[in-house]
Structure formats: C-alpha cells, structure tokens
Amino acid sequence: MSRIQQTFAALAEQGRKGLIPFITAGDPDPVKTVEFMHALAEGGADVIELGVPFSDPMADGPVIQRSSERALARGVTLKSVLADVKRFRETDPKTPVVLMGYANPIERMGVDTFAAEAQAAGVDGVLVVDYPPEEAGVFAEKMRAAQIDPIFLLAPTSTDERIADVGKIASGYVYYVSLKGVTGAGNLDVSSIAGKIPAIKSRVPVPVGVGFGIRDAETARAVAEVSDAVVIGSRLVQLLESAAPEGAAAALKTFIAELRAALDGAGKTAR
C-alpha cells in the first residue's frame, strides 16, 4: 500500500476528509520551498501537491502562471524540484508528496529516468495535466512500477466513458476539477459537484479530491461534505505572493490549520 493509499485509509477509518494543498516549487524563493512544505504538513495537510513550473501552463489561471514564471526565472527545474522533495523527506518520512505539472519536463528528462529519480527522492504520486488517460497507459504502468501513484484529472465535462478510462489506470486518488476553465477561476456550485461525484465513485475505485475555486474554510467545508478530499492551490499561491517573506511559512501554516479545522468538522458531520 502506497503512502497516499495509507493516508486515505487512515482518514476513512477516522471519518475525516483529506486536505491537499498545492504550492509551486521555487515560488517566491527556491530556498523556501522545503520550509513551506513543512509548514503545510504542520498545519494539517494530508497530501502535498508540489507544482513543477513550466513555461506554458495552459490549465492554470493567472495566479499560478505568475508563480511558474517567478520560479523559472529563479532557475527552478524538474531536477531541483526532486531535490526539494528529497530534502523534505529527510525530516518528514510520512506526508505524501505529489508532483503536479506538464508532460514536457518529464519527457525531456526521460520517463524512465524520471520514474527512478522520483522514486529515489520520495515522490508518492504524479499528476501530469496534459496526459489524457487514453494515452497514459504506459506512463501509468511505469509510475506504478516505481511505486508512484499516477493521478488523473476529471472535469464536469468528463463523459462516463472517460471516467471509466481513468478508473482503469488511476491510483492514489483522482482530482475532480470542479469548474470549467483554468485554476483559480469562477464560483463554486457545490450542488453540481454533489451531482457528479456519484458517477465518478461508481466507476473509479480510488478517493475523489475536488479542487479549483476553493478559497476559504467555508467553501472547503462545503466541498468536503460531498467528496473525499479538498484540493486548494490558487489561494495559497496568492497568499505567498502577497505575504512578507519572513512571515510566509507561518501564514501558510495558519491558513492550512483553519482549513483543517473546517474539514474535521465536515468529516464528523458526514459520519
């Protein structure tokens, strides 16, 4: 059982919902990334999604695009992100880490090399935004062979056939994009999320995390009532964009702790 699977099994046993924060590696300062990861874990994150910056992040809104640009300008690469995970693992052997990004940096490194280096660094899952499930079978097999969970996106527009395709190859969890468009956009409609989750659950044998558009404890709790986990990204990247450097880690930890408290309330209600 992978670290991600162990985490979700423990959450289910406790009647709790997962909290999955996202930050972009290297933003706003590469030397701070590992400190920020620890702040997320200490605040109550169950899984950490670490964004690998890319020059053409087509699925991301302006906030995460800017964070990618800042990180790339400071020389952040896939290799340096793996080094960050390795340093994080030196003092946190427990919190799962998922790399989220695009195919290009992985393909430039070579999928086999990436799988080996990610496994050695302590990566638990990989979500490649631009790998559709029908083209990702071999990639998913190589990740699983390296004991890394291949994680896939689903959207409001996903057909039952697409959901079933994802169900055949996904492990760890699936990430349901609750809004059409790009990250950080729009307003949440929890009833529409609640309407889609049963179709996913009936075809996908792993937990469902919901993200895009979650901005505070209130929306996180509402989404947690109808899902297994909540993913929050743009709001955290905004927080880091505006926080004073010396207080950024503490601000992250405080914000995550507020979300954790809200989700634990949702978990108790749902039991």
- Model pLDDT for residues 206-231, shown as the tens digit of each residue: 999 999 888 888 889 989 999 999 99
pLDDT at 64: 82
Q: Residue range 61-89: average pLDDT? A: 92
Structural contact between residues 98 and 173, judged by C-beta atoms closer than 8 angstroms? no
pLDDT at 269: 45
pLDDT at 185: 41
Examine the pLDDT at 124 and tell me if it is beyond 80: yes
Confidence of residue 268 (pLDDT cuts 50, 70, 90): low
pLDDT tens for each residue of 165-195: 999 999 999 999 886 544 444 466 788 888 8
pLDDT at 44: 98
Structural contact between residues 84 and 50, judged by C-beta atoms closer than 8 angstroms? yes
Percentage of residues in the chain having pLDDT higher than 70 = 93
Confidence of residue 270 (pLDDT cuts 50, 70, 90): very low
Just list the catalytic residues.
49, 60
DSSP, res 91: H
pLDDT at 188: 66
Examine the pLDDT at 271 and tell me if it is beyond 70: no
CA distances from 264 to 188, 224, 225 (A): 20, 9, 10
Mean pLDDT of the chain: 91
pLDDT at 267: 52
Examine the pLDDT at 79 and tell me if it is beyond 90: yes
Encoded amino acid at 209, one letter: G
Domain over 3-263 is classified CATH 3.40.50.300: no
Percentage of residues in the chain having pLDDT higher than 90 = 75
Provide the whole-model pTM: 0.93
pLDDT at 69: 87
Confidence of residue 54 (pLDDT cuts 50, 70, 90): confident
* Assigned token pair, 81: 């992100």
Confidence of residue 109 (pLDDT cuts 50, 70, 90): very high
Query: In angstroms, how far apart are the furthest CA atoms of the chain?
Result: 48
CA distances from 108 to 103, 104, 114, 148 (A): 9, 6, 9, 19
Q: How far is CA 204 from the centre of its chain?
A: 18
Q: Which position has the higher pLDDT, 192 or 128?
A: 128
Q: Residue range 5-29: average pLDDT? A: 96
The phi and psi torsions of 24 (rounded to 5 degrees) equal -85, 125
Q: How far apart are CA 114 and CA 107, in angstroms?
A: 8
